[in-house]
Structure 1
């Protein structure tokens, strides 16, 4: 004699046409009190005579309105493997740096370690982010802006002065010392109090997974000497007759992209 086994699933059907699984008070046409496992596609937008859409590769399921859900295509930033913005932030610094004598006018080498004897960090122009993807395709886009001004030291009477300088971006990974990733030198010249806006933009490619810190630093090059010596302010007003801390502040904007 064969044994017949019958498995009962608690199913409630009410007169309004609502169906409940593991509930006898369904709130919607189909109300599942528990987990749902779908072994094939989910289709939406169907009619009694037309099967719904299962969506296409890369689309996501989204709420279109209070009574309608659908598949949605999102525009992803073009890039290696399609990159998407994961982090965006801007930091500011109103203190800056002041130099009162000439420094080195030598060349700079990429990936050289930070040296406090050659460079000075702008304390507030520092930001951190984390890369989680392990495909080494992530990138960070950095934009540093500051104001550079010259002033005449007390006791000097020059009418036109100049000062050369350089600013760079240093990158630290997982607590290691910072290394130089971008640099550009420039010069400001004119009457006492003359100033100009300085910009430095860099894209850091092929970032491996890890924790990163980016910092802006600057250095003095040739500020003159003797009766032609200039005082140099970077991100700092050194002649407040036509510049203040709000006008001279430094900003560092970080955009971090990872594969989608």
Structure 2
């Protein structure tokens, strides 16, 4: 009798090792298919065939599948801890451009010196501002997920003119660069590049713009510049974000845009290592 019972038990184990077994299902989809609740009273371990060890995971870890043919792996589940009504950095990125824009003296803006303050106002449509050219690779799309946000834009470039060497600073060009969100002006800086005692002078241009509480969703960001006016600079070229002459190279002259969006979180996405 004992031999028969032992034979039956060994036969059943052999079936389990070679066939699919279903619990509460007649059509198992895996070697062990449980249709219902499962209760593990002790620990679950992952066998490592390399060193014959069993790793039971650490506290607060989850067992995650890596797909058919691969052993599962323990992962740590991290849920960010946010304090209410505080801003957190949600989006951060930076972009660069070596194409830049150039202006001839015939492209001086039609906006007169006296009317610049009235023309360059917050919210002005880019399409309504004459003479502005976009810096191509700085045009990007960003996403905002909360109604309470602060978006920071830091733009930097190099501006160069093809002035010859002169002893007077009366030769110069006015220019302006603006940061636009959804086609509307949010920040603008005007500057003047003067001739000096050496040829092809250049300067580093930096500006920072801030926008509060953008609507939830996607937004376009553009940087565009214009040549405003010339003083004793008839026929001279202005280059922004591109090296017009060999005293600087395209690495030095390139433009960059850094975007940081801080939000009071409304949506909490879990993150798995």
1:211, distance to aligned residue in structure 2 (A): 2.4
Alignment of 1:95 with 2:100, yes or no, is yes
Q: Give the aligned partner of residue 238 of structure 2.
A: 232
The answer for the alignment partner of 1:214 in structure 2 is 221
Q: 1:183 aligns with which of 184, 188, 197?
A: 188
CA gap 1:127/1:244 in 2 versus in 1, 3 angstroms: same
Q: Take 1:119 and 1:245, find their aligned partners in 2: how far apart are those partners?
A: 22
Selected match of 2:123 from 111, 114, 128: 111
Cα deviation code 1:88-129 (max 9, x no counterpart): 242424232224254343122010111352422122221112
Q: Aligned ranges for residues 1-260 of structure 1 at < 5 Å?
A: 33=34, 74=80, 80-86=85-91, 88-101=93-106, 102-103=108-109, 104-105=112-113, 106-107=116-117, 108-114=120-126, 115=128, 117-131=130-144, 133=145, 135-152=146-163, 158-160=166-168, 161-172=171-182, 178-189=183-194, 190=196, 191-225=198-232, 230-238=236-244, 240-258=245-263, 259=265, 260=268
Change (3 A) 1:136 1:73: closer
The root-mean-square deviation of aligned C-alpha atoms, in Å, is: 4.2
Secondary structure of 1:223's aligned partner: strand
Which protein is bigger by CA-based radius of gyration?
Answer: 2
- Provide the rounded CA distance (Å) in 2 between the counterparts of 1:122 and 1:128: 14
User: Which structure shows the bigger proportion of residues in helix conformation?
Assistant: 2
State the TM-score, normalized to the length of structure 1: 0.62
Contact residue 24 and residue 35 of structure 2 kept, 8 A: yes
The whole-number CA distance in structure 1 between the counterparts of 2:158 and 2:62 is 46
